[in-house]
Amino acid sequence: MGDPIQLKDEGNKHFQEGNIDKAIECYTNAIKVCKDKKVLAVIHRNRSACYLKKENYANAASDASKAIDVDAADIKALYRRCQALEKLGKLDMAFKDVQRCATIEPKNKTFVETLRRLGAEIQAKLKTTFSTDSRVQNMFDILLDDEMEKDKKEKAANNLIVLSREDAGAERIFQNNGVSLLLNMIEKGKPEMILAAVRTLSGMCTGHKARAMAIINLVGIDKMCSIMAIDNEEMALATCNLFQCINDSLTGGDKREYGKEEALVLDTAKDLKTILLSLLEMIVSKKVSGHGRDQALNLLCKNVPRKNKKDQNNSTALFTIDHGLKKILKVCGQVPELPDQLPLTENTQLIASVVLNRIYDDLKCDPERNNYRDICDEYIKSKIDPNDMDKTIHAINVISGLLQGPFDVGNALIGHQGIMEMMVALCGSEREVDQMVAVEALIHSSTKMSRASFIISNGVSLLKDIYKKTKNEKIKIRALVGLCKLGSAGGDDYSLRQFAEGSTEKLAKQCRKWLCNPQMDSKTRKWAIEGLAYLTNDADVKDDFVEDELALRAMFELSKSTDKTIIYAVACTLVNCTNSYDKKEIIPELIQLAKFSKQHVPEQHPKDKKDFIEKRVKRLLKAGVTSALAVMVKADSTILTDQTKEMLSRVFLALSEDPKDRGVLVAQGGGKALIPLAMEGTDGGKVKACHALARIAAISNPEIAFPGERVYEVVRPLVNLLHTDRDGIQNYEALRSLTNLAGFSEKLRVKIVKENALPDIESYMFEDHDQIRQAATECMCNLVSLKKVQERYLEDGNDRLKLLVLLCGEDDDDLQVAAAGALAMLTSAQKKLCAKITLVTSQWLEILQRLCLHPNPNIQHRGLVIVYNMLDCDDSDVAKKVIECEILEILSVVGKAEDNPKRQQAIDVARTCLVKAMDLGLIKPFSSPS
C-alpha cells in the first residue's frame, strides 16, 4: 500500500491544489497502513478538513472525533468537529467544542466570534422551541374543547397545519403527544377537524423518514384508507396527499443524516408493500366512495411505475400486476347503468385506463408484457358468458378501457375470435345498456386505420341503423361519434375521404347541436366533443366550427366542468382547428416520384392554408380559448397525461404566433398556465411550451405576464431553449425573452446566470446568423452589470472581449448599439478592461473612432463613454494612446458643436472627455496672446 507518511504528504499536496477527492483517497490509504497513533490522529484530522470541503459533515465529525480521542487538546480537530456539528444542526455539541478551543486559545478572534454566534443561535432556538411548544399546546386545547367557538377552532386548525410544515413545529407536535391528539380530532368525526388533522399529519411526514414511519404505526394504514374512502372530495385529496408525503419520505425523498437513529428507520419495504396492497384493496371495495377510488388510483399511477427508466428495478410494477391487475380491470369494466356496481366519479374509469397504460409502459421485456396480456386475456375470458349478459358487457367495457390505455393489449383482445362479432351482435341487442357499451367499444377499437377499414366495411351500416332507429339520445350520440371517427379515418388527407362529399359536415352540425343543448347531461354532451375531435380533421368542419361562437363557448364551459375526461377530446379538437399537429415536409420531387409509381399522395385541403389558420386562431381567442386552456392545465395529473399536455402546448404555440395576440394570452392567464407545461410532459411538448413562453416573455412586462415569484420559474424553460439541438427560431425567441427579463431586475439577471445560460449566450454571439447574433449580444449587454459576468471578461485565454470589440465594428446599427453598450458598461465597472481592449485586436482604435463618428446618436454616445472610461482608467499609457490619435480631433469637433437635443448626450460626454484630458495634463487649454 505504501508508506503512511508519504501518503499523508501526497494528500496534503492534493489538498493544497484543490483536488479534494485525490486527497481523501491518499489519506484513506494512509489510515489503512498506519500503526503510529499520533500520525493516525493527524491523518484523520486532515481527512476531516477534506470532508468539510465536500460538505460531508457526518464523516468530517467522525474523523475529527478520532483525532480528539488521541489528543483531547487537538485544537484543529476540535474546531473542525465544531464546524461539522453546527452544519448537522447539533448546536449544543458544537458549542462545547468551540468552548474548549477558546479555553486553550482565549485570544483567537475566530474562536471567540464562533462562541458568541453559537451561543446566540442556541438561545434563539430555545426561545423558538419554548414558544412553539406553548403554541402547539394552545392549538390542541382550543381544538379539543367542545364548547369553543367554531371560528376559533378553524383558526387553530389552520395554525396547526402551518406549524406542521416547519420542521421545528412538526417535531414539537410529535414530541408533545400530537399524533394521539390528532387521532382524537379524527375520532370526533367533524369533517373540518378530520381535514385539519390529516393536513397536519402530512406536514409532519414531509421529508422525515423517522416521523413518517412512526405515524404509519400510530395512526394505522387502515385508518388512513377509511378516511380516504369517505364521500368527500376534499378529504380524499388531503388523505391522498398524506399517503404521497409518506411514500416520498420512505422511498428516499428524505435526505437527512440520522446518525445512530438510522438503524431504526432503515427498513421501509414492509410499510410500502402494506400501503400498496391496501390501495389495491380500496379500488375494488364497495365501501369506498368514487372520490376515494380516484385518489387510490392516482397514488398507484404516481408511485408504481419507475420515476426514471434508467432505474433497472421495476419490481413494484410486477408486484402490482400479480396482486392488483385484475382489480384495476374490474374498475375499468364497471357499467354504472347496471345494478350492484362500484361507486364511481365521471373520471374513475379514465384514470384506471391511464394506470393500466403506465404500468404496461413500465415493463422491460417481452416475457413481462406477455404475462400482462395473459392476465388480461384470462380475465376477459372468465367474464364472457352467453347466459349472463351483464358479465359479458362488463368484459366488453374492460376492452374499451384497455383500448384507451395500453392500446396494443386491447387491440390484440379484439382480434380474438368472436370478440368483434359479439360487439356487433350487442349493437343489435334490445337492451339499451348493451348497445351503449358495444358502440363505445367499436368507437375505441377504430383508432388505427386498418381497424377502421374493417369496421367501415362491416359496421357503418350497423351504426347508421342504430343512429336512425334508437330513441335514446345517449346511444344516438355514441353511434354518431362512431360514424364521425370512421369518417375521419383518413386524417387531414383531403384525398382520403371515407364518406360522400358533405357527410362529415352534416355529422359535425349534429354534434354542434347536441353540444349547445343545455338540457342534455354533460356526459352525453361530452360525446359531441369526441365526435368533433375526429371530424375537425376535415378543414370544412373546423372552419364551420370556429364560426359557431355558441358551440365554441359551450365546449370551453364543459372543459371547465368537474368531468375532466373531456380534456383530451377538447385538446384534440383545438389542435385540429389550429393545425398545430406535426406536418411532414412535402418534397416536390418525391411527390412526382410517387405519382409516377402510382403511390398514394396526400393532398392538403384548400382551407388548411396559412390565412385560414390565422382566421381560426383569432376566432378561438375571441371566444375565450385561453381561459379554458388555463383551467385544463390545472386538472389532476393522472388525467392530464403527457400526450394531453403536449397537445395543449401545441395549441398555446399556435395561439402565440401573432405578436398582437400575445397580450390576450397574458390577460387570460396564458403565461401562468404555460409554466407547468414547460416543466413536465413529453420532450416535444415541453419544447413547444417553452417556445410559447419565450414568445410571451420577449414582449411582455414580466410583472404582468408572470406575477409574483412565477417570473423566476420562467427562466429555466427559456434557458433550455438555448440548447444547440433546438431550432434557430427557438434559440432566437429564447434570447429575446432573456434579454427582456435581464433588463427588468438584478434578481432576474442573477437567476439567468445561476441557470448556466452564459456559455450558450456567448456561443450565439459567434453565430453566423445576423438576428441570433444580435439577440445574443443584446442579452449580454443586459447581463454585464453583474460582477460574475464581468469576471468572465477579465479572464485570460479567451476571445470574449475581442469579439465584443469586433462586433462594435459591424455595419448593423442594432448590433453596434448592443455591443458598444456592453463595452461601455464593462469598461466603466472594470478599469483593467480598458488596457485589455488595446491588446485584444489591432483594429481597436479604428473601431473606436468609427463609433465616435457614427451618425446614430445612440452608438456615438456609447463610443464616447468608452473613450471617457479609457481616460479615467488610472493607466496613463492607455489614456495617451487614446489622445495621441484622431480621437482628440473627434472629441474637439463634437464638444464644440452647438447644443442639440438629439445629440446632447454625446456632446456632453465629449466635453467631459476633454476636461478629463486636461486634468490628466494630456492637452492644454487654448489661450489667446495678451
Q: Determine the length of the chain.
A: 930
Give the tens place of pLDDT for each residue, 395-445.
999 999 998 888 889 888 887 877 877 887 787 777 888 888 888 887 777
Q: List CB contacts of 43: < 8 A, sequence separation 6 or more.
A: 4, 8, 11, 27, 30, 31, 34
Give the tens place of pLDDT for each residue, 351-384.
999 999 999 999 989 999 999 999 999 999 998 8
pLDDT band at 498 (very low <50, low <70, confident <90, very high): very low
What pLDDT sits at residue 265? 47
pLDDT band at 482 (very low <50, low <70, confident <90, very high): confident
Give the tens place of pLDDT for each residue, 820-848.
999 999 999 998 999 999 998 889 999 99
What pLDDT sits at residue 511? 86
Among the ranges given (323-327, 624-628, 709-713, 715-719), the one the predictor scored with the smallest mean pLDDT:
709-713
* Of residues 50, 61, 55, the one with CA closest to residue 22: 50
Mean pLDDT, rounded, for 496-517: 73
Q: HEC string of 300-315?
A: HHHHCCCCCCCCCCCH
What is the average pLDDT score of the chain? 85
pLDDT band at 856 (very low <50, low <70, confident <90, very high): very high
What pLDDT sits at residue 496? 41
What pLDDT sits at residue 901? 86
Beta strands in 738-883 (DSSP E): none
Give the tens place of pLDDT for each residue, 590-602.
555 555 555 544 5
What pLDDT sits at residue 444? 78
Mean pLDDT, rounded, for 649-660: 92
Residue 797's region, left for phi above 0, alpha for psi from -120 to 50, else beta, is left
Higher-scoring residue by pLDDT: 158, 238: 238
Higher-scoring residue by pLDDT: 154, 197: 197
Question: What's the DSSP call for residue 903?
Answer: T
Among the ranges given (181-195, 311-325, 775-789), the one the predictor scored with the smallest mean pLDDT:
181-195
Proportion of the chain above pLDDT 90, given as a percent: 38
pLDDT band at 693 (very low <50, low <70, confident <90, very high): very high
Q: List CB contacts of 404: < 8 A, sequence separation 6 or more.
A: 350, 353, 410, 444
pLDDT band at 450 (very low <50, low <70, confident <90, very high): very low
pLDDT at residue 17 tops 60: yes
Question: What's the DSSP call for residue 343?
Answer: P
What pLDDT sits at residue 1? 53
What pLDDT sits at residue 331? 94
Q: Integer distance in angstroms from the first to the last C-alpha of the chain?
A: 92
- The set of cell numbers assigned to 272 is 410500502
What pLDDT sits at residue 518? 84
Which amino acid is it at 825?
M
pLDDT at residue 577 tops 50: yes
- Alpha helices for 144-208 (secondary structure H): 150-164, 167-175, 178-187, 191-205
Q: List CB contacts of 134: < 8 A, sequence separation 6 or more.
A: none
What pLDDT sits at residue 289? 94
Proportion of the chain above pLDDT 70, given as a percent: 90
Highest mean pLDDT among 155-169, 552-566, 846-860, 912-926: 846-860
Mean pLDDT, rounded, for 70-82: 90
Give the tens place of pLDDT for each residue, 762-810.
999 998 889 999 999 999 999 999 999 999 998 888 888 999 999 999 9
Mean pLDDT, rounded, for 734-760: 92
pLDDT at residue 11 tops 70: yes
What pLDDT sits at residue 210? 85
Mean pLDDT, rounded, for 444-448: 65
Would you list the DSSP string of 653-689? HHHTSSGGGHHHHHHTTHHHHHHHHHHSS-HHHHHHH
pLDDT band at 78 (very low <50, low <70, confident <90, very high): very high
Phi then psi dihedrals of residue 19, to 5 deg: -90, 80
Higher-scoring residue by pLDDT: 453, 714: 714
In whole angstroms, what is the distance from residue 636 CA to residue 448 CA?
28
What pLDDT sits at residue 651? 94
Largest distance between two CA atoms of the chain: 129
What pLDDT sits at residue 593? 56
